[in-house]
Amino acid sequence: MVNAMIKNQISLSKNQKIVLDYIQKIKKPVKAYSILSGVKKSGINAPPQVYRALDKLIEKGKIHKIESQNSFIACNIGDCATPHAVAFSICNQCEIVTEINDQKLFKYLSDFKDKSGVNFKGYNLEFFGVCDSCKAI
């Protein structure tokens, strides 16, 4: 708890705050060009400013990149301790993305070694299936 509070105080630049606010408001994965047009009214006009802010926010664990969609989503766990080790479930039908927070899975992955002895320090996993609300239709 104390750690979480300290982590929340990681300072963000003005641009990073604007970009993070926008992504958090959307509540679903959002592509860079949508972010770009969304933050224009807040005074960020140059694409490099947005890309730089996105890179930093990923580094700080505030947002994650959904590689298969080339989009960005706010961290749902709250400042991931391991921003480069994340897992998501993605619905094939409605494309809803949920960040997976399963300690058993993370423990398995951090203990896992491949045949060449490589330990996985980072991963960006995406699991595909059908979510409950799509199954109900």
Site for Zn ion in 59-78 (CB under 5 A): 75, 77
Confirm or reject binding of residue 80 to Zn ion (CB under 5 A). yes
| 62, 79 contact by CB (below 8 A) | yes
| 42, 36 contact by CB (below 8 A) | no
Cα atoms found within 13 Å of the Cα of residue 82, Cβ hemisphere only: 15
**CB of 70 vs Zn ion, minimal distance in Å:** 18
Site for Zn ion in 94-133 (CB under 5 A): 94, 131
Task: Provide the token pair at 127.
Answer: 């699991």
**Residue 47 or 55 with smaller CB distance to Zn ion:** 55
The site for Zn ion (CB under 5 A) is made up of: 75, 77, 80, 91, 93-94, 131, 134
